[in-house]
A and B are shown apart, each in its own frame.
Chain A
Amino acid sequence: MATADTQTRRYQEPGAPGNAAVVNPDPRTVTGPAGGTGQGDVQTVDGQLRILTEELKLANADLRSEDRGNFCDHPPEVIKPFRAFWENFLNWARSESLWILGFGTGCGAIELRPLMTSRFDMYQYGIQGRPTPRQSSVFVIGGYASVKTMKRIVRSYEQMQGPKFVLGLGSCTINGGMYWDSYNTVNRLDHYIPVDVYIAGCMPRPEALLAGFVKLKEMIKRGECEGANRYAENFEWYKANQKRIIKNWDMPDYNW
């Protein structure tokens, strides 16, 4: 049945986060505005991105000052899992109750719909759709992510409560796919949000998606899906990457 192979990929460690300074895993990033006039770009101090203030709050530098009070300025935190047995039990529950955020970000979203049908019946795997990120635990990125969509993806991802999992659906999420050289499509999704499972293909069929879910469940049960913690740990790196492409930021640095 599986017409597209499912490929999982461990996350490339971007390096240890620095002290209120941005880790720079790629010499081409972050320092100095990349291309363009720099107007509306990432705020820099001494040529480096400032996400956190000295009180370790979010700087929210791109928000208008009158808006700042309306957004929470707490940065995300790494939350340690419980110990062995208990965490295993919780992970089992998490893996058996995967609620997908109903947000079709690209053309791949069309492959999500058949899962609801009697033929694929995702419910038997404990998977169901959920219309609000607050209650969802899985974010399926449905294919290519343009810069504009990326902004919404980041926002929705941050609004989900951890532990949360991301499925990259389709080649575009892996390396840009057929849009690899577009001025407007990101190439590597994992530079912007942590991804747990990639599903290759253009487009992968629903079966492949289901296979990806099964893979995800296995990984959750093994305790390997700590994307939320990774995101918090390397928060500044992710932010720098995001802000580098999202020019009109106009939102807090972390969307609670």
Chain B
Amino acid sequence: MSDQHTQTQISSAEVHEVFADLHTRYGVRGLEEKRADQAFVRTDRDEAVAVLTHLRDRHGYTHLAFLTAVDQIEEGRFELLYMLHNYELRHDLGVIVEIPREGDGCSMDTIHRMWPAAATYQRELREMFGIDFPGSPRLHEDFALEGWHDLPPMRKEFDTREYSERTYYARPGRTKTDTRQHMKDTIYPSEAETW
């Protein structure tokens, strides 16, 4: 019984159908089916809002599960991930949008008019990554941090350890352990060979 509820109601063919539709309309690309109930697609920044709207209105992805960002510092860009959920099909679809990391380009259209809750995610992204969402409500208010004036702490070039040492009076005498090495040496020495 309960399995039925959690199991996806969508077949891979249907996912492909949705993808094909998006592809012809908006040039969406890069379908990745991670699980039966979860897939990811990529789209351009300019098409993203249209894609999301289309998904919400035409394909039943009415729920914005979350919105987050991944810092791909090596490639000089952020990947925004809009995770949508379809209640009918019990299927998650992640829409990945790439935006530049630096300068004026580091911004994205707001979607708070489609999902009011998105404003909160956007505030968090602004605070933690420095991504701008022009027009999003209360965007520049403090969210989780209070009075933060440094680099946005989730950007990879922000050296949190250096910041901590500079700011928080590290207690002298603390020994630091490389976690990987510690696991290898102490905790799982027998499995270490296989790594």
Contacts and interface: CB of A to CB of B under 8 A. Distances in A.
A187 B146 contact: no
A151 B146 contact: yes
B168 A35 contact: no
A191 B166 contact: no
Contacts of A37: 149
A187 B170 contact: yes
Contacts of B163: 35, 183
Interface string A225-256: 00000000000000001001111100000000
B150, B163, B164, B169: which has the most chain A beta carbons within 10 Å?
A: B169
A34 interface: yes
Interface string A33-45: 0111111110000
A29 B148 CA distance: 18
A186 interface: yes
Interface stretch (B55-63, B70-78, B109-117, B153-161): B153-161
B122 to A, nearest CB: 21
Given A174-B171, A180-B174, A28 B166 contact: yes
B142 interface: yes
Contacts of A246: 146-147
A183 B158 contact: yes
Given A35-B163, A180-B174, A183-B158, A26 B147 contact: no
A182 B164 contact: yes
A161 interface: no
Interface string B170-192: 11001000000000000000000
Contacts of A244: 167
Nearest to B158: A183
Given A182-B164, A184-B153, A187-B164, A176 B170 contact: yes
Contacts of A241: 169
B73 to A, nearest CB: 17
Contacts of B167: 34-35, 244-245
Contact of A187 (B142, B144, B148, B171): B171
B117 to A, nearest CB: 22
Nearest to B163: A183
Nearest to B153: A183
B10 interface: no
A175 B171 contact: yes
B149 A175 contact: no
A26 B169 contact: yes
- Among A38, A184, A186, A244, which residue has the most Cβ atoms of chain B within 10 A? A184
B50 interface: no
A26 B172 CA distance: 12
B189 to A, nearest CB: 22
B145 interface: yes
Interface in A178-192: 180-188, 191
B150 A36 contact: yes
Nearest to B174: A175
B142 A175 contact: no
Contact of A39 (B146, B149, B164, B174): B149
Contact of A148 (B145, B153, B161): B145
Interface-centre pick from A34, A35, A241 (highest chain B CB count, 10 A) = A35
Interface of B: 142, 144-150, 153, 158, 160-161, 163-171, 174
Interface of A: 26, 28-29, 34-41, 147-148, 151, 174-176, 180-188, 191, 241, 244-248
30 contacts: A29-B169, A34-B166, A35-B149, A35-B163, A36-B150, A37-B149, A38-B149, A40-B147, A41-B149, A147-B145, A147-B146, A148-B146, A151-B146, A174-B171, A175-B170, A176-B168, A176-B170, A176-B171, A180-B164, A180-B170, A181-B161, A181-B164, A184-B145, A184-B153, A185-B164, A185-B168, A187-B171, A188-B169, A191-B169, A245-B167
**Which 9 A-B pairs give the minimum distances between C-beta atoms?**
A247-B147, A36-B149, A248-B147, A175-B171, A181-B161, A187-B168, A183-B160, A183-B153, A36-B150
